[in-house]
A and B are shown apart, each in its own frame.
Chain A
Amino acid sequence: MDAIDRILADFAPDGPLAEIRQQAAEQVRLHGMPSQRQEAWKYTSLAPLRDIAYRAATAADGDALDAAGFSAFALASASPHRVVLVNGRFRADLSTTDALPTGITVTSIAAALEGDAVALAGIYAEQSAPEAVFTALNAALLDDGLLIEAGPDAQLDAPLHLVFVAAGDTPLLRAPRVIVRAARNARLRIIEEYRGIEGDRGLTNVVTDVNLGEGAVLEHHRLQSEPDTCAQIGRVRATLGALSTFNSDSVTFGGALTRIDIEVALAARGARCRLNGLFATDGAQHVDHHTLIDHQVGDTHSEELYRGILDGRSRGVFNGKVVVRRDAQGITAKQASNNLLLSRQAEIDTKPELEIYADDVSCAHGATVGELDAQALFYLRSRGIDETTARALLTYAFAEKVVETIPLDSIRHAIEERFIGARALSELEDLVKGA
């Protein structure tokens, strides 16, 4: 993209990570922006971004939003552990981390660079091998971000809620990085919520790197609720140690163009992951999820369920790749992609990809594309429910299969509100249970 070429043209990184950043910039220059001729970008065109005059966000852009502006967002969780980044920059004044339990620390990467930069350089280099252009771009720009560390057996009492706010009056290129390192038997629950002010036309290019030690557990909830004028290219990479667990929900409602890659390396025996996703799009939105689950050794287990709901002229892409390496015996891998088309102009491209080099494996995958069930629709309407509400109920019902696996009421409520427009459902359920 021209704008990104321009940003990199007069690029001269300094500081302790200058060398890593310079190398990353070289990668970007060498490979250039992906085109639809590349298999991984076959269904997603970046052409809409080409003519936007992006400017790399600076530290000053972090101050674009004041406390009053921030409080206008109805966030998906009211956890006491909140960390806010505005335009990719950590904002101490909007964050509350005092109550974090012993053994769990959250440091802004900007602050870490000013402190023990050598240690950070080590972590950063180890975590950041850029095998994709946008990940390299993120490494080159290195705005800021978060280093989240959990010591052995450390445990969160409430979710760690990360809020990324897009707030630019000109199109900004934001490149925050999140690094999560959980030591042996640590247990973390992290919400990554992406929001934006009305009219933001920027690009959020975010990378989350996860490293789980033996027996560690990370519940990772990703919620893309940026306005429909924003673009986001995100990548989550997780490396799992023995007996560790990575459960991920990726829920996408917002954004004009969203591309999310989630890559999990099941690198030691007993590691397991569950990747769930839900996207609901309308208008001309475009959402592309690529997942890669790499069963590197035997006795590793994965489960995956993605559901897409597409209305208007929107377009969805799901590409779920599962690799089972030679000698990775005794693994199980389940994958399902189900999609609901609410309009004739909406489109979904869904593709499971299995590469299996071992023989003692149990793998299952399936993909469906359908419309709302006409019989169910008539049943509801015959009971007195108007067509709009009946459609909303059935659409929510389709999403429910993913929603029910999200163990956070706050996120479930946000999803219910999106589809049914009210919190009535859970309240009534609670009432019935209580009565």
Chain B
Amino acid sequence: MLEIKNLHAEVDGKPILRGIDLTVRPGETHAIMGPNGSGKSTLSHVLAGRDGYTVTEGSVSFNGKQLLDLEPEERAGEGVFLAFQYPVEIPGVNNVYMLKAALNGIRAYRGEKELSAVDFLKLVKSRVKAVGLDESLLNRPVNEGFSGGEKKRNEVFQMSVLEPRLAILDETDSGLDIDALKAVAEGVNALRDAARSFIVVTHYQRLLDYIVPDYVHVLSKGRIIKSGGKELALELEARGYDWLTSEAA
């Protein structure tokens, strides 16, 4: 499904990713862990197509397409979804209207018919309950005045409506208390199935207690320095990152 080969990227001439190789197959959940500044968020943003990153080497293929050649909205159309670490507040843009524009944008990209307002609303109502988002937030401006937990829940809610093939969760656990974390993880787990893949980017092992990954990769200085099963996360929790980063250096 996703194949990253020797990916190098820089910001303002400064190399951040220095040769990432990663293969994600359908239905798999991969955790990307690593200390601050290791390039975790850069990897998420490069995959989603954010401006300001220059890919200097390597390739990313997604279901046979060269992902890096596509605009962000085309990547969404192909089924990529990024749950932001800091969801953006957009005053004046209604939450549910944005979502309708998004879903219909994706459907148009795939040559599918637009959903009617009524059908769309049925879908929204069923998903909003499933992720436990307060319904009154639907008709509010996107993320404006939402608590940290509400913002993250809104990301998962959007994901549940847009039904991506690959969801990238960028530090979704940051700023959440344990109850909010559990709720968000439940929402994510409900979306896991044999076809859908996840990349879970996190600094802490805590989130992985609730979203249990198939693989764990440790990123340091722009490279994956160790890969393993879910038990690697526990080891990192116990020993920190230093033993690995010094080993790699």
Contacts and interface: CB of A to CB of B under 8 A. Distances in A.
A106 to B, nearest CB: 37
Interface residue tally of chain A, by bracket?
20 to 34
Contacts of B158: 383
B82 A425 contact: no
Contacts of A381: 49, 71-73, 76
Contacts of B81: 382-383
A400 B72 CA distance: 26
Nearest to B83: A382
Contact of A378 (B50, B97, B102): B50
A435 B128 CA distance: 13
Contacts of A344: none
B109 interface: yes
Chain B contact residues: over half helix, strand or loop, or mixed?
A: helix
A380 B158 CA distance: 12
Given A386-B73, A435-B125, A378 B51 contact: yes
Contact of A398 (B48, B51, B92, B102): B92
A387 B73 contact: yes
B84 A379 contact: yes
B93 interface: yes
Nearest to B87: A379
Interface residues of B, number: 41
B144 to A, nearest CB: 10
Contacts of A374: 51
Nearest to B93: A397
Contacts of B77: 384
Interface string B88-121: 1011111011111111011001000000011001
A384 B92 contact: no
Contacts of A396: 92-93
B55 interface: no
Interface string A396-435: 1111110000000000000000000000110111011101
B97 A428 contact: yes
Contact of A384 (B73, B94, B142): B73
A380 B106 CA distance: 12
B102 A401 contact: no
B138 interface: yes
Chain A contact residues: over half helix, strand or loop, or mixed?
A: helix
A394 interface: yes
Nearest to A434: B121
Nearest to B101: A385
B184 interface: no
A375 B76 CA distance: 16
A389 interface: yes
B221 to A, nearest CB: 26
A4 B93 CA distance: 47
A393 interface: yes
A37 B82 CA distance: 55
Interface in B51-80: 51, 71-73, 75-77
B105 A431 contact: no
Contacts of A382: 48-50, 72-73, 75-76, 81-82
Nearest to A378: B50
Contact of A379 (B71, B90, B94): B90
Interface in A352-398: 373-376, 378-387, 389-390, 393-394, 396-398
A384 B93 contact: no
Contacts of B139: 429, 432-433
Contacts of B75: 382
B98 A383 contact: yes
Contact of B88 (A375, A386, A425, A431): A375
Contacts of B118: 431
B117 A425 contact: no
29 contacts: A373-B90, A375-B88, A378-B50, A379-B142, A380-B98, A380-B102, A381-B71, A381-B72, A382-B72, A383-B76, A383-B102, A383-B105, A383-B158, A383-B162, A385-B101, A386-B105, A387-B71, A393-B93, A396-B92, A397-B91, A397-B141, A401-B92, A427-B117, A428-B94, A428-B97, A428-B117, A432-B121, A432-B138, A433-B139
Given A428-B96, A432-B121, 16 more contacts: A374-B51, A378-B49, A379-B90, A382-B49, A382-B73, A382-B76, A383-B73, A383-B76, A383-B162, A384-B105, A385-B102, A385-B105, A389-B105, A393-B97, A397-B91, A433-B139
